[in-house]
Chains A and B, each alone.
Chain A
């Protein structure tokens, strides 16, 4: 038995199975994961690891375990999407910890957070004075959302009655010397226009460009491969790299 070869084959099976299953399970961002999602991820990963290296048992039962955990994870996701009550039970609800500037001790106890934990989470958000807080909520993913008192809210153009232009989004036109014609069509321009713009920057060919972005104000940001910077500033604090 060639154990190395078997591990290679099992690794390929585990890797791609995991990739396929996680793509099916969902697109939730890591920051949105609940504690259960986190545990689910660890368990599925652990099963995949056993599938790869535990040669004392067949790959099949590990793979079935992987499939069942992934399927149950998917099922839970579908249930929580379709059934609001189940979502509350399975994923938990946000807990209001501070209301009108007052810490709610009962909610704190229920969420199993200490006052020092709340202070730490507030400091993470740049709040060092409890008097600034109007509402604080522990979300179901364990993160703290804070609403500051009106007098501590940051000044916005709206409160100052200042008219601001809609910024919009920048669109990539060239990346790594490759032109994105779909994006060019999207902004109602053509290749001739782009070449004209590039020529004005002293560029004769698209392959010279590393990145070209069309800004909402109609300007073009162009970065060439050849930056003509003789001595880049070194921000390291030791002689390097090794």
Chain B
């Protein structure tokens, strides 16, 4: 039993470590609701393009909440810069919606989408 544990504990630890470090791949799958954020971004682009600014502001808040929830899980496997860049995009998006600047809002949303795709790659 002792011999088994001496081998099993390191092997299980390594599996756990690899699991934590690669969890972003799993978290982005549809199985774990990983498409929530890109879907929200796509929806927001459509809303911004149709210039429904109040709805866009509400949806941005919703996206921010979803993002903050996702970051709690993603932070252990992802790079800090991509997470920070996404936060910056959200802040700029809020400004663009406030000023009703369609071009800037779409640019920020597209960039946020790119950062989401790059997260954990």
Contact = CB atoms under 8 A, between A and B. Distances in A.
If over half of A's interface residues share one DSSP class (helix, strand or loop), that class is named, otherwise mixed; here it is: helix
Nearest to B10: A20
Interface in A21-49: 23
A233 B78 CA distance: 58
A238 interface: no
A56 B85 CA distance: 12
If over half of B's interface residues share one DSSP class (helix, strand or loop), that class is named, otherwise mixed; here it is: helix
Q: How large is the interface on B (under 10, 10 to 19, 20 to 34, 35 or more residues)?
A: 20 to 34
Contact of A60 (B10, B21, B80, B84): B21
19 contacts: A3-B80, A5-B75, A6-B75, A6-B80, A9-B20, A13-B20, A20-B10, A20-B13, A20-B14, A55-B80, A56-B79, A56-B80, A58-B77, A58-B78, A59-B20, A59-B77, A60-B77, A63-B18, A63-B21
Question: What 4 A-B pairs are tightest by C-beta distance, nearest first?
Answer: A55-B80, A60-B21, A20-B10, A13-B17
Given A63-B17, A63-B21, 15 more contacts: A1-B80, A2-B75, A3-B80, A6-B75, A9-B76, A10-B76, A13-B17, A16-B13, A16-B17, A20-B10, A20-B13, A56-B81, A58-B24, A58-B79, A59-B76
Interface of B: 10, 13-14, 17-18, 20-22, 24, 71-72, 75-81, 83-84, 120
